[in-house]
């Protein structure tokens, strides 16, 4: 998919900048084809668009220097973490320099007494949780990939725990950000709440690298619950599983995870992770609390599930069984890709108010079934957020067109139901027209005004969110 990117606006990086980056960063600056190619793609179905060079940064000062050098030559700058974006956020569609932050992987502080941690932007969620394992605390936000916290901040990521613990919006306390001219600002404090001026941290959360480059993130941590129980419940059809979810949420049961997998997703993870799950739509659930509280929640949910034709719960009792189950869930995307060798995935990401989830999903399933394209459906349904992955043959333009047409119908239905075109993946290159439909021209003008105020030369990840 080309989407007109690279058509205009690419200025070759001036030799003076290349020399200056080489002088400042030595071997940590590369223009090698392989390195550029590696940084010119993400997990989206877009064609690669490599940058003109890559700087491997190790701290905020290096990011600031690299941005200042690029700013002096009005050259685009793109931050790159784990490379797991799904909407083309990392593609250098206007050329420029990519800053690879994956070496910024130090956990700077774990303040267990204050239930917070400060990490460099390149720390991944699994790394942080590994370092937290003896602290009694954990960091709940878990997009499928082992993304970096910088990237998760940039896309306002969430994942399976958001129904109970919120998203990056709720869990970022403070940020260190390099601005478009190389200045460094620190936003937020260690306090849990504040009314001190504009909420700069929330402005950068979800800005996809277009307003500043996040180099350090202070996040809230949460106590590891005294008791955890995970259960699988199969349903006769997707509609019943969704209706059960709506009843759980409207019943105010504080469920920690409530994930839908359709039969295609179940088959894919069975094949990939040898789970032996019944090949039916299912809810994968987790309950957190005291031992009594977990029991109480599970009983209430089992009753609701039975009302909706759900099976008796199959329990994952040990931490190892739970890990295996959730790892499989997080592998759903990759597992599905393997069901059609050579395919790429066009992913949808709508989120609707919970009362409209059943109609949103039912219409989507009917359309996908009628279209005949291979697909799978997984959902953070407790939030009203679900993903359809259409598995397309990238050599068949009509398949891509069909997938995009299905996506467009799905998004427009979500907007009509009061929802959003993207629950957690961001806009990138893919959702720009939908964002305009969702927010309206005046809100887009406002976003552009903010962009212009913070990045008047438009060097920060240009072409993303709006073109």
Q: Applying CB under 8 A, does 227 fall inside the site for its own copies?
A: no
CA dist 93 and 428 (Å) reads 11
Q: Applying CB under 8 A, does 286 fall inside the site for its own copies?
A: no
Considering the complex, what minimum distance in angstroms separates the CB of residue 134 from its own copies?
16
> How many Cβ atoms from other residues are within 10 Å of residue 3's Cβ?
17
Q: Applying CB under 8 A, does 193 fall inside the site for its own copies?
A: yes
Per CB under 8 A, contacts with its own copies among 442-461 are 442-444, 446-447, 449-450, 452-454
CA dist 20 and 55 (Å) reads 12
Q: Applying CB under 8 A, does 290 fall inside the site for its own copies?
A: yes
Provide the Cα torsion 325, 326, 329, 335; round to 10°. Answer: -70
Provide the Cα torsion 142, 146, 151, 155; round to 10°. Answer: -40
Q: Are 261 and 332 in contact (CB under 8 A)?
A: yes
Q: Applying CB under 8 A, does 197 fall inside the site for its own copies?
A: yes
Considering the complex, what minimum distance in angstroms separates the CB of residue 184 from its own copies?
7
CA dist 66 and 71 (Å) reads 9
Considering the complex, what minimum distance in angstroms separates the CB of residue 53 from its own copies?
28
> Which DSSP string do the residues of 288-343 spell out, in sequence order?
EESHHHHHHHHHHHHHHHHHTTPPPPEEE-SHHHHHHHHHHHHTHHHHHHHTSTT-
Per CB under 8 A, contacts with its own copies among 316-345 are none
Alpha carbon 281 to its chain's center: 24
Q: Applying CB under 8 A, does 205 fall inside the site for its own copies?
A: yes
Provide the Cα torsion 444, 447, 449, 454; round to 10°. Answer: -160
Q: Applying CB under 8 A, does 263 fall inside the site for its own copies?
A: no
Binding mask 405-444 for its own copies (x = CB under 8 A): -------------xxxxxxxxxx---x--xx--xxx-xxx
Considering the complex, what minimum distance in angstroms separates the CB of residue 229 from its own copies?
16
**In the complex with its own copies, which residue's Cβ is closer, 23 or 449?**
449
CA dist 463 and 9 (Å) reads 10
**In the complex with its own copies, which residue's Cβ is closer, 366 or 450?**
450
Strand order in the sheet with 29-30: 29-30, 53-56, 97-100, 77-80
Q: Applying CB under 8 A, does 84 fall inside the site for its own copies?
A: no
Q: Which residues contact 369 (CB under 8 A, 6 or more apart)?
A: none
Of the residues 236, 278, 353, 397, which one makes contact with its own copies according to CB under 8 A: 353
**In the complex with its own copies, which residue's Cβ is closer, 103 or 356?**
356
Of the residues 5, 85, 158, 407, which one makes contact with its own copies according to CB under 8 A: 158
**In the complex with its own copies, which residue's Cβ is closer, 184 or 275?**
184
**In the complex with its own copies, which residue's Cβ is closer, 1 or 294?**
294
Number of residues that bind its own copies (CB under 8 A): 88
CA dist 7 and 207 (Å) reads 24
- Closest by CA to 78, choosing from 462, 467, 466, is 462
Binding mask 111-150 for its own copies (x = CB under 8 A): x-xxxx----------------------------------
**In the complex with its own copies, which residue's Cβ is closer, 102 or 187?**
187
Q: In this chain, which stretch among 27-35, 267-275, 378-386, 391-399 interacts with its own copies, using CB under 8 A?
A: 378-386
Q: Applying CB under 8 A, does 2 fall inside the site for its own copies?
A: no
**In the complex with its own copies, which residue's Cβ is closer, 120 or 422?**
422
Q: Applying CB under 8 A, does 363 fall inside the site for its own copies?
A: no
Q: Are 348 and 363 in contact (CB under 8 A)?
A: no
Q: In this chain, which stretch among 246-254, 258-266, 270-278, 370-378 interacts with its own copies, using CB under 8 A?
A: 246-254
285 membership: H or E segment, kind and range: strand 282-289
Considering the complex, what minimum distance in angstroms separates the CB of residue 147 from its own copies?
13
Where would I find the beta strands (DSSP E) of 317-418? Answer: 344-347, 375-380, 385-392
Of the residues 22, 103, 169, 324, which one makes contact with its own copies according to CB under 8 A: 169
**In the complex with its own copies, which residue's Cβ is closer, 28 or 437?**
437
Considering the complex, what minimum distance in angstroms separates the CB of residue 201 from its own copies?
9
Q: In this chain, which stretch among 27-35, 56-64, 98-106, 203-211 interacts with its own copies, using CB under 8 A?
A: 203-211
Q: Are 97 and 54 in contact (CB under 8 A)?
A: yes
Q: Applying CB under 8 A, does 385 fall inside the site for its own copies?
A: yes
Reported residue count of the chain is 467
Of the residues 162, 242, 269, 346, which one makes contact with its own copies according to CB under 8 A: 162
Residue with tokens 């009314």: 195
Q: Is 80 helix (H, G, I), strand (E, B) or coil?
A: strand
Strand order in the sheet with 184-187: 107-111, 116-120, 213-220, 172-178, 184-187
Of the residues 134, 195, 341, 370, which one makes contact with its own copies according to CB under 8 A: 195
Q: Applying CB under 8 A, does 191 fall inside the site for its own copies?
A: yes
| Sign of the alpha-carbon torsion through 410, 415, 419, 420 | positive
Considering the complex, what minimum distance in angstroms separates the CB of residue 44 from its own copies?
14
- Closest by CA to 51, choosing from 108, 17, 13, is 13
Q: Applying CB under 8 A, does 296 fall inside the site for its own copies?
A: yes
């Amino acid at each position: 998919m080309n989407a007109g990117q690279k058509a205009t606006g690419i200025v070759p990086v001036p030799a003076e900048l290349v020399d200056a980056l080489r002088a400042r960063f030595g071997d940590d600056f590369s223009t090698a084809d392989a390195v550029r190619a590696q940084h010119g793609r993400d997990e989206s179905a877009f064609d690669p668009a490599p940058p003109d060079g890559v700087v491997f940064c190790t701290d905020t000062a290096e990011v600031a220097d690299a941005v200042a050098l690029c700013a002096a030559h009005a050259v685009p700058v793109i931050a790159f973490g784990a490379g797991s974006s799904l909407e083309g956020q990392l593609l250098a569609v206007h050329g420029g320099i990519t800053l690879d932050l994956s070496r910024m992987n130090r956990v700077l502080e774990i303040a267990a007494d204050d239930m917070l941690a400060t990490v460099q932007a390149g720390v991944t969620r699994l790394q942080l949780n590994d370092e937290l394992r003896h602290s009694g605390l954990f960091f709940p936000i878990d997009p499928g990939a082992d993304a970096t916290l910088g990237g998760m901040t940039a896309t306002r990521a969430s994942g399976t725990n958001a129904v109970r613990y919120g998203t990056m919006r709720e869990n970022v306390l403070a940020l260190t950000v390099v601005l478009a001219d190389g200045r460094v600002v620190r936003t937020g404090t260690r306090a849990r709440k504040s009314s001190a001026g504009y909420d700069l941290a929330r402005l950068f959360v979800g800005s996809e690298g277009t307003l500043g480059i996040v180099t350090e993130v202070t996040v809230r941590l949460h106590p590891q619950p005294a008791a955890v129980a995970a259960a699988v419940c199969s349903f006769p059809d997707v509609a019943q599983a969704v209706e059960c979810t709506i009843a759980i949420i409207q019943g105010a049961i504080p469920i920690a995870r409530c994930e839908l997998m359709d039969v295609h997703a179940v088959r894919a993870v069975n094949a990939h992770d040898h789970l032996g799950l019944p090949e039916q739509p299912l809810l994968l659930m987790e309950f957190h609390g005291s031992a009594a509280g977990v029991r109480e929640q599970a009983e209430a949910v089992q009753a609701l599930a039975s009302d909706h034709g759900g099976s008796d719960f199959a329990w994952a009792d040990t931490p190892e069984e739970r890990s295996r189950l959730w790892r499989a869930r997080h592998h759903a995307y990759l597992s599905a890709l393997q069901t059609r060798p050579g395919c790429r995935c066009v992913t949808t990401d709508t989120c609707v108010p919970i009362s409209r989830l059943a109609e949103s999903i039912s219409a989507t399933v009917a359309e996908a079934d009628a279209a005949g394209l291979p697909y799978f459906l997984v959902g953070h349904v407790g939030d009203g957020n679900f993903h359809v992955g259409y598995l397309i043959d990238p050599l068949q333009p009509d398949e891509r067109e069909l997938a995009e047409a299905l996506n467009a119908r799905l998004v427009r239905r979500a907007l009509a139901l009061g929802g959003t075109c993207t629950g957690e993946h961001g806009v990138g290159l893919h959702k720009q027209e939908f964002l305009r439909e969702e927010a309206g021209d005046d809100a887009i003008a406002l976003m552009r005004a903010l962009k212009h105020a913070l990045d008047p030369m438009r060097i920060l990840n240009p072409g993303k969110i709006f073109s």
